[in-house]
Amino acid sequence: MALWVLHVDLDQFIAAVEVLRHPELRGRPVVVGGDGDPAKRGVVSTASYEARAYGVHSGLPLRTAVRRCPDAVFLPVDREAYEAASTQVMATLRGFDAVVEVLGWDEAFLAVDGDDPEAVAHEIRDRVYEATGLECTVGIGQNKLQAKLATGFGKPAGVFRLTRQTWPEVLGDRPTDALWGIGAKTAKRLRGLGIVTVGDLAAADPGALAEDVGPTIGPWLVRLARGEDHSPVSDAPYVPRSLGRETTFQRDLREWQDVRREVARLARRVAGDVTADGRHVTRVIVKVRYAPFFTRTHGRALEAPATDAARIEEAALAALDGFTDRRPVRLLGVRALFTR
């Protein structure tokens, strides 16, 4: 029997949970974000497919979302409801004879033995729906990378298989940022080297690319483009690698002393979360979103892993010193990175 990796991704998860709670919203554009008031500052956490048709997507300012889709229903974020739904889904997945690796609220990998992974995928979809009322898409691959990308081709609520044999045909002509792990900046850098498509990257010389983008990243990018991934599916408990807090201000902060005060406050809140989580912090990242809407980040490593609030606050303020732009600030965030 062959070993397959299945990637289960819940469709429009947060919006779908809200529709289950409010059945009258089915078929309507639903946007979840902030406290649900688009007149206030905040960003979209998720949008239903009906809202996405109007160009509403995660990370979009709520005020922009309401302009694009004035008929949308706006709802506040309810973490407890989403965590409860996620727990129910993951419990359903663990009922299969498979190793289950949870990636977050709405997705997981399963390692499955058998000659008919599609049958398993369809059973997963059916059981999840029966248990929760939520729909999911299942991607099938010979490794985690292939399964993850296959899910995108199966959405919504479908099943799609991607293997080393079909990889070139399916992905060869697509831009490099279609790959899991390549973002806009890396894709731009690759275009500067004449590498435009996944096929171009797969055909690249790893040694030559190592000279251009680094001895580790260069060969890894080529392996990525060839659909190669040797990371195992692990059922070790999901442990977040970081923990953070952020605040969107209804009025811009114009005085830098106010910015420093708010960063210190956020850092202390993060320190409280860290203490409750029992983890040690190695690095602190500060995010600043300026008005009207562009974001910068700076980080500061701690000399030694720590949990106490004073050292986390000190690192956050040191990271803040890396910002030289003093224009009005609309959002601040502090994130602590943990030891592994």
Catalytic residue ranges? 107
Give CA–CA dist 262/267, Å, rounded.
8
- Beta strand residue intervals within the chain, DSSP E: 3-10, 30-32, 46-47, 73-75, 99-102, 107-113, 136-141, 159-162, 242-253, 281-290, 294-306, 329-338
Give CA–CA dist 170/178, Å, rounded.
11
- Show the CA angle centred on residue 26, arms to residues 23 and 30, nearest 5°: 105
Helices in 181-225 by DSSP H: which ranges? 184-192, 198-202, 206-213, 217-225
Give CA–CA dist 288/282, Å, rounded.
20
- Beta strand residue intervals within 33-98, DSSP E: 46-47, 73-75
Give CA–CA dist 117/291, Å, rounded.
49
Quick count: other Cβ atoms within 10 Å of Cβ 327?
A: 11
Half-sphere exposure of 163 (CA within 13 A, CB side): 6
Quick count: other Cβ atoms within 10 Å of Cβ 23?
A: 8
